[in-house]
């Protein structure tokens, strides 16, 4: 797994867009980007997780994650795939398939490995610089009502990557 935290500098040439819960509807996303005249040479798109499951084009996720202008974090649906592969439990696989992972129910562990490798390397949070000193935090679900962002960054740096869901603060970024 890559770093759980990513800091992204300001985009001084184009526009930054943020979306969430694509759920395998990449054609719909592409149509919306076309509608706003998204320019991949200068614009960027940040996805707040749940790239996969439920929709008809989940396998497109690997292509989208190769785009230099596309930034994504893990959501709970990425975690379900990651957990299924790591735990190798038929119960965990069935649970993931029931919650939307049925697009991959005919895949074996070898076929899922590329998805696992790519998705498990996504960060849990992105800090996006939007102006000279102003930054915004991007997570999938939520942070506590009262928290210091620097403490969140410290938590993300100190938690063992295999134990992210055992850390309440980090787990809430996926599941709340």
Instruction: Give this prediction's pTM.
Output: 0.94
Kindly state the average pLDDT of the residues 50-69: 98
Two structure tokens written together for 157: 């740096």
Task: Tell me which H or E stretch contains 71.
Answer: strand 70-72
Please state which of the four CATH numbers 3.30.360.10, 3.40.50.150, 1.10.3720.10, 3.60.21.10 is assigned to the domain occupying 5-175: 3.60.21.10
Nearest to 100 by CA among 118, 84, 123: 84
Instruction: Name the residue among 171, 113, 120 with its Cα closest to residue 3.
Output: 120
Q: Which active-site residues does the annotation give? A: 77
State residue 82's pLDDT score: 96
Neighbours of 83 (CB within 10 A): 16
pLDDT tens, position by position, 108-147 = 989 999 999 999 999 999 999 998 889 999 999 998 788 8
Query: Where residue 162 falls among pLDDT bands split at 50, 70, 90?
Result: confident
Q: What is the mean pLDDT of residues 64-73?
A: 98
For residue 2, the model assigns a pLDDT of 63
> Distance (Å, rounded) from C-alpha 161 to C-alpha 157?
9
- Give the pLDDT score at 1: 46
Which tokens belong to 164? 């992210």
Cβ–Cβ under 8 Å, residues 58 and 96: no
> Phi/psi at 170 (nearest 5 deg)?
-70, -40
Strands 125-129 and 135-138: antiparallel
Average pLDDT over residues 38-64: 98
Mean pLDDT of the chain: 94
Query: Dihedral sign, CA of 97, 101, 105, 108?
Result: negative
Token pair in block for residue 125: 């949070």
Q: Helix crossing, 149-158 with 168-175: angle to 10°? A: 100
């Amino acid at each position: 797994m890559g770093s759980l935290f990513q800091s992204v500098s300001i985009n001084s040439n184009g526009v930054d867009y943020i979306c969430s819960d694509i759920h395998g509807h990449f054609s719909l996303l592409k149509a919306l980007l076309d509608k706003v005249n998204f320019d991949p040479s200068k614009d960027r798109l940040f996805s707040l997780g749940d790239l996969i499951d439920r929709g008809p084009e989940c396998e497109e996720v690997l292509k989208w994650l190769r785009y230099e202008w596309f930034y994504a974090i893990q959501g709970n649906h990425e975690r379900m795939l990651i957990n299924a592969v790591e735990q190798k439990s038929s119960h965990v696989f069935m649970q993931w398939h029931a919650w939307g992972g049925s697009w991959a129910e005919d895949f074996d562990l070898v076929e899922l490995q590329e998805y696992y490798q790519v998705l498990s390397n996504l960060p849990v949070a992105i800090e996006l610089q939007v102006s000279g000193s102003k930054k915004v935090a991007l997570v999938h679900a939520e942070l506590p009502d009262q928290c210091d962002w620097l403490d969140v960054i410290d938590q993300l740096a100190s938690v063992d990557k295999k134990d992210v869901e055992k850390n309440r603060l980090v787990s809430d970024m996926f599941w709340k």
